[in-house]
């Protein structure tokens, strides 16, 4: 065989093996329902949050966006029910007053699972106490804090659970995410928080959208977008260029200081018990590292008096000692089994702190 043909064959087999490895990883840890399709992954994803998205969202002047009220079909054929107060159902009628308020991102909201399969729904069953699921897909910690303030202004819970994943710290540095303007906080010269509204952030959208829609990038997406591996790498490394409608724009690099200040701001709310819950996507558990930013935020929360519930040690232990059980916890986001595991972790912490579930006769 000629050297050029051997090289071509070797290159083809190497790329094919890499693509297969990428899709296998995606099947187990990202989105099993889509990785084996013949589709342009980039073009499928190149939709902003409000346009044809599988996430039911509507604009909001304070937090950027909230879930759209109504009954929807989410990812993986999940059933999503949002009430008129923009709260996700637990599968049961919502109480007048929440005893436990859960805020956070899509891991709290329960992406890819139905209403009664989220961890707030599971926690409600375990504790026998009303739990409000106020998690919202795509939120940064800045939006999570603003949403907590809005809801606690209407009704004060006994317990506030603030859930985050490490990426929520990075999101707090952004003015635009998934092609939608969002609020963000910066620090003034004295180190105090300054709130910037979604309306301010919207001014940064159009020029960058036009740049990402340039002819060369569009043609590149048209061809290479069919590779799951290329799409995942490009989206993670430079989403603001790879996707013309679903990109993100950074406002600053002070996420560590800003998120710690946001926890200080939360401590001013009139809530008896505050829990900071750290959740993790599967790839971080597989890598074996929380990340320096996460450790800083947890240390800040502990210093401020938050009750810390960190899921990392338990997840890492399960991966090392019971890898098949660990694989059942994720389907991109957490599976019903994974959300049950998180709820049980929280319930143990609540019981240790003296927050006991009601007995059957209560």
pLDDT of 314-338, one tens digit each?
A: 999 999 999 999 999 998 899 999 9
| CA 37-42-43 angle, 5° bins | 90
Give the model's pLDDT for residue 355. 62
DSSP one-letter string for 15-29: HHHHHHHHHHHHHHH
Give the model's pLDDT for residue 135. 98
Burial 244-273 (b: 16+ CB within 10 A, else e): bbbbbbbbbeebbbbbbbbbeebeeeebeb
What pTM was computed for the model?
A: 0.83
pLDDT of 140-163, one tens digit each?
A: 999 999 999 999 998 899 999 999
Q: Which residues contact 21 (CB under 8 A, 6 or more apart)?
A: 229
Query: What domains sit in the chain, N to C, each tagged with a CATH number?
Result: 57-198+252-352 (3.40.50.1110)
């Amino acid at each position: 065989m000629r050297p050029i043909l051997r090289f071509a064959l070797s290159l083809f087999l190497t790329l094919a093996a890499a693509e297969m490895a990428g899709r296998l990883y995606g099947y187990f840890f990202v989105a099993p329902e889509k990785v084996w399709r013949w589709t342009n992954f980039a073009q499928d994803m190149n939709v902003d949050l409000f346009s044809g998205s599988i996430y039911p969202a509507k604009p909001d002047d304070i937090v950027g966006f909230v879930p759209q009220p109504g009954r929807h079909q989410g990812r993986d054929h999940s059933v999503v029910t949002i009430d008129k107060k923009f709260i996700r159902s637990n599968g049961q009628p919502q109480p007048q007053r929440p005893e436990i308020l859960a805020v956070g991102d899509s891991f709290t909201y329960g992406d890819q699972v139905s209403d009664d399969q989220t961890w707030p729904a599971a926690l409600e069953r375990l504790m026998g106490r009303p739990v409000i699921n106020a998690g919202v897909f795509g939120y940064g910690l800045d939006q999570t804090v603003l949403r907590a303030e809005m809801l606690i202004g209407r009704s004060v819970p006994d317990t506030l659970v603030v859930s985050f994943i490490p990426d929520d710290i990075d999101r707090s540095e952004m003015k635009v995410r998934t092609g939608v303007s969002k609020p963000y906080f910066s620090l003034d010269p004295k180190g105090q928080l300054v709130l910037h509204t979604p309306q301010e952030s919207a001014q940064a959208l159009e020029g960058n959208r036009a740049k990402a829609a340039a002819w060369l990038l569009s043609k590149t997406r048209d061809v290479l977008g069919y590779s799951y591996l290329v799409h995942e790498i490009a989206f993670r490394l430079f989403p603001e260029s790879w996707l013309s409608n679903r990109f993100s724009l950074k406002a600053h690099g002070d996420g560590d200081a800003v998120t710690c200040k946001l926890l200080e701001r939360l401590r001013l709310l009139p809530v008896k018990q505050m829990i900071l819950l750290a959740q993790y996507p599967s790839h971080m558990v597989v890598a074996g590292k929380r990340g320096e930013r996460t450790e800083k935020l947890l240390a800040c929360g502990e210093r401020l008096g938050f009750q810390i519930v960190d899921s990392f040690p338990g997840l890492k232990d399960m991966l090392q000692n019971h890898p098949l059980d660990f694989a059942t916890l994720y389907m991109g986001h957490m599976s019903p089994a994974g959300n049950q595991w998180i709820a049980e972790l929280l319930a143990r912490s609540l019981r240790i702190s003296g927050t006991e579930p009601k007995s059957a006769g209560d």
